[in-house]
Amino acid sequence: MKCREHCGACCIAPSINQPYFGMPNGKAAGEACTHLNLDSFSCTIWGSEHYPNTCQQFQPEEAVCGSNQAEAIRLIDALETLTDHTIQS
């Protein structure tokens, strides 16, 4: 699967728990990355030397990206919740 144009869900929904270019504290789940172009919902540093390793490793697939941006945000948010080790039981 190729990334959908005008989606950017992977730049919004997941947390990134390590510093990266332009975001020295990483990024919280649900927070748009500073490099997300909000007109095109594309990454402004994609493919550059500043593109985070975390993002390079993400591979779009229907199980995670769904069929539209809203579904992708819901799916990635659910995965974020399932893998959040800071939640107290």
- What does the pLDDT look like over 50-65, one tens digit per residue? 999 999 999 999 999 9
CA distance 12 to 77: 9
For residues 55, 50, 84 and 74, what is the CA-based torsion angle, rounded to 10 degrees?
-50
Read off the tokens for 38.
């909000």
C-alpha–C-alpha distance, residues 39 and 29, integer Å: 20
- Residue 41 and residue 12: Cα distance in Å, rounded? 10
**How high is the pLDDT of residue 45?**
97
Residues of the chain with pLDDT under 50: none
Going along the chain, which residue ranges are E strands? Answer: 36-37, 42-43
Rg (C-alpha) for the chain, rounded Å, is 13
Local structure of 63: helix, strand or coil: helix
pTM for this model (two decimals)? 0.86
pLDDT, position 88: 54
